[in-house]
Amino acid sequence: MTVNIILLGPPGAGKGTQARILTETRGMVQLSTGDMLRDAQASGSEMGKRVAEVMAKGQLVTDEIVIGLIREKLSEGGTGFIFDGFPRTLAQADALGALMEETGQTIDAAIELRVNDDVLVDRIVGRAEQARAAGQPVRADDNAESLKTRLMAYYKQTSPMIGYYHAKGLLRAVDGLGEIDAVAAEIAAILD
């Protein structure tokens, strides 16, 4: 059965890691607005330049920009989507609902990766150190100062998504503190 899901959770909760596992194990399609925005920056596009500073600070870019990116991807067709890092505001959640309806699709589950804040700092600092060691670029927003802003943005703007999808009967929660494989198994159990 093909399903479309949303991964919810603060920065460092493991959304990207779990999304990648789902693409590998189930051939699902990861739609990460963060990746799309970083690609736009790397390509040097006007939009990429406009969002760079906002992203580096850890603030959210405008709803209009990210909804536009998702609209474009959905219009390319396909299914089995993992929305990773989207929606992050109520306006985005409403827009996603409308876009899915327009394309005759549904959101089947919003999976919350539950973690506590203490691990997030360690994971994000760890991610930056790993990238550095591997000679890969370190994300401009993977530093203590931006992380504070990103966490605040999560609690103020994105955490209401949990209630939103709960009210729609779509919310499922998994323990995001476990080992990567254990979290993946919990998610698989929800999807099967």
Instruction: Just list the catalytic residues.
Output: 15, 88, 127, 139, 150
Which residue's CB is nearer to ligand AMP, number 3 or number 61? 61
CA distances from 155 to 8, 11, 22, 78 (A): 12, 11, 26, 32
Helix, strand or coil for residue 70?
Answer: helix
Residues of span 129-148 touching ligand AMP by CB under 6 A: 141
Nearest to 5 by CA among 93, 98, 110: 110
Please tell me the count of residues contacting ligand AMP according to CB under 6 A: 17
Kindly give, in sequence order, each residue whose CB lies less than 8 Å from that of residue 141, ignoring residues fewer than 6 positions away. Answer: 55, 56, 57, 58, 147, 150
For residue 53, the minimal CB distance to ligand AMP (Å) is 10
Residue 113 interacting with ligand AMP (CB under 6 A): no
Report d(CA 83, CA 136) in Å as an integer. 25
Which residue's CB is nearer to ligand AMP, number 44 or number 104? 44
Residue 151 interacting with ligand AMP (CB under 6 A): no
Q: Are strands 5-8 and 81-84 parallel, antiparallel or unpaired?
A: parallel
Q: Which of 31, 66, 111, 161 binds ligand AMP (CB under 6 A)?
A: 66
Report d(CA 147, CA 118) in Å as an integer. 12
Which residue's CB is nearer to ligand AMP, number 4 or number 189? 4
Residue 37 interacting with ligand AMP (CB under 6 A): yes
∠ CA 71-76-7, rounded to 5° = 55
Amino acid at 9: G
Residue 164 interacting with ligand AMP (CB under 6 A): no
Q: Which of 17, 22, 30, 150 binds ligand AMP (CB under 6 A)?
A: 150
Residue 85 interacting with ligand AMP (CB under 6 A): yes
Residue 11 interacting with ligand AMP (CB under 6 A): yes
Nearest to 17 by CA among 67, 85, 72: 85
Residue 58 interacting with ligand AMP (CB under 6 A): yes
The residue ranges that bind ligand AMP (CB under 6 A) are 11, 33-34, 37, 54-55, 58-61, 66, 85-86, 88, 92, 141, 150
